[in-house]
């Protein structure tokens, strides 16, 4: 099948590479000439395990190409995926300008009967707007599909190749047939393809992310209460998660959620609800709780060092919003770093993958360490923001020798409080007794 993917960000690049891997002829198009030039040379602009191998192999075998000629990519396609960005607008709603621009181009340049798939995360009603934009210029029949993505950054390739479900909102039997054929190789183990109407598919993506964000914020607020009443959130989490009606996923307390999906999608769903006069009070509270949570690491740091951060050097382990990605969008590390700098402190940071992104965002306002231990040299405190594997079992004696003061703020509850206390550390974590 001839597939074109418009947009080569996190979603578009993974979609294109994975569809090529199953034998389709895929063209990924983007107006960013520098990005396309790099991709042709197998330079991947994001850190995503396994993606570089897929891109290189499928380019070598001729199934995957990259182009800046969007009209040509549209003309050759049987199926076009729209995978461009939908950043939040000033009111929190999704900005659909890029999506609708692509829809306009599809209508002007389509060369055959076409299935148009919205892969970008978009609010309910977007497919109708896409259809109207295409129809304004189209001379050939087309069909619409909403195919929300459920890819976790850091595991996106595995999530696409081995999905737990595929959600497809379609407007015709033709679209249903084409999309069923396209996704058949990915559901051979019996995982479901769930067909539904387009508005329901559009809502499913937002509802899923909103539920996960709610679990995170709920557990973070429970952790804060645990600290006040002397309970241990690790034990509470195990007790709650063992209930089959609840389950253990997304119940780990931390510094707040970030990334490209949860913050943006919660804001967009709240904005959609307000526009339709059906406010989502729970989600409004989830968003407010997450913003409060991002400030807690700095609050714990201030408490542990006696309230005065000015003149202190703070080591930060982890800059990306989660491990196995270089994505710093809405990362709690940014909130922490800005707070330390505003208070007159200095920051030396380490991250296995996100240093280049941090340099783009923060420049020389902070210092960067080649290793996690190097970041500790002469620091008055360490704050752990991201739970990269290499931070889980460090040499504590080496840490203590490198730090000026043995202060550790653990935003991911990686270590046992009793052990750190016995080693002479001032240790603070999330929702556990000191």
Active site residue 261: yes
> Which residues lie closer than 8 Å to 222 by C-beta, 6 or more apart?
233, 236, 253, 431
Q: What was the pLDDT predicted at 15?
A: 97
- Both tokens assigned to 27: 């063209």
Q: Which residues pair with 79 in a beta bridge?
A: 3, 115
> Which residues lie closer than 8 Å to 247 by C-beta, 6 or more apart?
241
Order of strands across the sheet that contains 313-317: 367-368, 346-350, 313-317, 381-384, 407-410, 426-428
8 Å CB contact between 182 and 79: yes
CA-based torsion, 100, 104, 109, 115: positive or negative:
positive
Q: How many CA atoms lie within 13 A of 256 on its CB side?
A: 24
- Both tokens assigned to 367: 């210092």
- Distance (Å, rounded) from C-alpha 91 to C-alpha 398? 48
Q: What was the pLDDT predicted at 123?
A: 87
> Which residues lie closer than 8 Å to 209 by C-beta, 6 or more apart?
261, 262, 265, 266
Q: What was the pLDDT predicted at 120?
A: 85
Order of strands across the sheet that contains 79-82: 64-67, 25-29, 2-6, 79-82, 114-118, 142-146, 166-170, 193-196
Strands 114-118 and 79-82: parallel
pLDDT in 10s for each residue of the chain, 434 residues: 999 999 999 999 999 999 999 999 999 999 999 999 999 999 999 999 999 999 999 999 999 999 999 999 999 999 999 999 887 776 777 889 999 999 999 999 999 999 999 998 888 899 999 999 999 999 999 999 999 999 998 999 999 999 999 999 999 999 999 999 999 999 999 999 999 999 999 999 999 999 999 999 999 999 999 999 999 999 999 999 999 999 999 999 999 999 988 999 999 999 999 999 999 999 999 999 999 999 999 999 999 999 999 999 999 999 999 999 999 999 999 999 999 999 999 999 999 999 999 999 999 999 999 999 999 999 999 999 999 999 999 999 999 999 999 999 999 999 999 999 999 999 999 999 88
∠242-219-284 over CA atoms, to 5°?
130
**Where are the alpha helices (H) located in 119-229, listed in sequence order?**
126-135, 156-161, 173-183, 198-229
Element (H, E) at 409: strand 407-410
Annotated catalytic residue within 18, 28, 145, 261: 261
The answer to whether the pTM exceeds 0.75 is: yes
- Both tokens assigned to 278: 């059906």
8 Å CB contact between 24 and 184: no
Among the listed residues 27, 207, 31, the one whose alpha carbon sits nearest the alpha carbon of residue 121: 207
Q: How many CA atoms lie within 13 A of 341 on its CB side?
A: 15
Domains defined along the chain, listed by start = 2-196 (3.40.50.720), 205-293 (1.10.1040.10), 295-428 (3.40.50.720)
- Both tokens assigned to 192: 């479901």
- Both tokens assigned to 52: 């570089």
164 burial via Cβ count (<10 Å: 0-12, 13-18, 19+): exposed
- Distance (Å, rounded) from C-alpha 408 to C-alpha 392? 13
Strands 166-170 and 142-146: antiparallel
- Distance (Å, rounded) from C-alpha 415 to C-alpha 376? 17
- Distance (Å, rounded) from C-alpha 68 to C-alpha 36? 7
């Amino acid at each position: 099948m001839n597939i074109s993917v418009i947009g080569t960000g996190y979603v578009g690049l993974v979609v294109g590479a994975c569809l090529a891997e199953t034998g389709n002829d895929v063209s990924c198009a983007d107006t960013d000439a520098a990005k396309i030039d790099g991709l042709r040379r197998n330079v991947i602009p994001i850190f995503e395990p396994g993606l570089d191998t897929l891109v290189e192999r499928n380019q070598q075998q001729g199934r995957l190409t990259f182009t800046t000629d969007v009209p040509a990519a549209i003309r050759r396609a049987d199926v076009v995926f729209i995978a461009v960005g939908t950043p939040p607008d000033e009111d929190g709603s999704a900005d659909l300008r890029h999506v609708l621009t692509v829809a306009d181009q599809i209508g002007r340049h389509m060369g055959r009967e076409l299935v148009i798939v919205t892969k970008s995360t978009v609010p309910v009603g977007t497919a109708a707007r896409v259809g109207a934009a295409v129809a304004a210029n189209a001379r050939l029949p087309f069909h619409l599909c909403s195919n929300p993505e459920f890819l976790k950054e850091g595991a996106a390739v595995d999530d696409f190749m081995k999905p737990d479900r595929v959600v497809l909102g379609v407007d015709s039997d033709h679209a249903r047939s084409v999309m069923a054929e396209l996704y058949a190789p990915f559901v051979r183990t019996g995982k479901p393809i769930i067909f539904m109407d387009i508005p329901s598919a559009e809502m499913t993506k937002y509802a899923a992310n909103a539920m996960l964000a709610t679990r995170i914020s709920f557990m973070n607020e429970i952790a804060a209460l645990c600290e006040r009443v002397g309970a241990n959130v690790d034990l509470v989490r195990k007790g709650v998660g063992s209930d089959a009606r609840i389950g253990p996923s997304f119940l780990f307390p931390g510094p707040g959620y970030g990334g490209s999906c949860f913050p943006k999608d919660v804001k967009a769903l709240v904005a959609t609800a307000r526009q339709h006069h059906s406010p989502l009070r729970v989600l409004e509270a989830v968003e407010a709780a997450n913003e409060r949570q991002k400030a807690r690491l700095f609050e714990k740091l201030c408490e542990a060092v006696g309230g005065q951060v000015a003149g202190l050097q703070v080591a930060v382990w982890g800059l990306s919003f989660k491990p196995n990605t270089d994505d710093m969008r809405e990362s709690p590390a940014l909130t922490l770093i800005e707070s330390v700098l505003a208070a007159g402190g200095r920051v030396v940071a380490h991250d296995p993958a996100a240093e280049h992104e941090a340099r783009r965002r923060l420049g020389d306002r902070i210092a960067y360490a080649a290793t996690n231990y190097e970041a500790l040299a002469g620091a008055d405190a360490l704050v752990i923001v991201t739970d990269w594997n290499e931070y889980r079992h460090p040499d504590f004696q080496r840490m203590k020798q490198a730090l000026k003061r043995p202060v550790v703020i653990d935003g991911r509850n990686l270590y046992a409080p009793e052990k750190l206390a016995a080693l002479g550390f001032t240790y603070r974590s999330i929702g556990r007794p000191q």
